[in-house]
Amino acid sequence: MVLDVVIEEAGYEAGDIRISGISFQVRKGELLGLIGPNGAGKSTTIKTLLGLLKHAKAKVKLGGENKSYAYVPEQPVFYEDLTLWEHLDLAAAAYGLSYETFETTAERLLIQFGMEGVRNDLPAGFSKGMKQKMMLMLGFLVQPDVYIVDEPFIGLDPRATKDFLRLLEAERKRGAGVLMSTHVLDTAEKICDSFVLISGGKIAAEGTLEEIRVDAGLPEGSLFDCFDELA
């Protein structure tokens, strides 16, 4: 187990409970898909396990060798006066990477995501997809025990999506767990080992696709069909 989450309740203000009774684990090498309709509580769940909400009753345990994680947010966050390379350099310093390790990894990621030509550009001028690529690169600078990735496919073109999935697969083979929130259910069905479906701030179903199908009463249903039935 690399991530153990137990959320009794959480909200953005005192007395305003947005989610409750949510618990799940991410095992070593597992990709767990966090799915649900808009407003169901997916983002609140992620913010709670990251410790970003004051009004929360929750227990979160990190496992793995280093008890470390990397977070890729849904909305890109950047400093307007720092270039792409300077963002990577700053993140590497925060992670405590040696400059040699940082430089090797950053160069590889720049090439892999097709961003080597804009390394010295300011991200304010980037397209939405380029900003998303930057956030993924920042997350993959290190090799944590678990990745927490919020809506990673938004803005990515097919090539970048393929590169991202290839990186995820390599990290899973290394033993990293992945918690991924996504609306792209056809892709999630293909790559996720198991799912947690949140609806109305609570868990509506969880387990493998086969188990989700049983809950939905759709033995041959797609994840989209099960989602539509249960959410």
CB count, 10 Å around CB of 79? Answer: 12
Q: What is the DSSP letter of 50?
A: T
CB count, 10 Å around CB of 12? Answer: 13
Distance CA 156, CA 192 (A): 19
Say what the pLDDT of residue 46 is.
96
CATH code of the region 3-68+144-230: 3.40.50.300
pLDDT digits 0-9 by tens, 109-119 = 999 999 999 99
- Residue 3's Cβ-count burial label (10 Å; 0-12, 13-18, 19+) is buried
Distance CA 114, CA 108 (A): 10
Domain edges within the chain: 3-68+144-230, 78-142
pLDDT < 70 stretches in the chain: none
Say what the pLDDT of residue 69 is.
94
Q: What is the DSSP letter of 192?
A: -
**Tokens (6 digits) for 137:** 């690169």
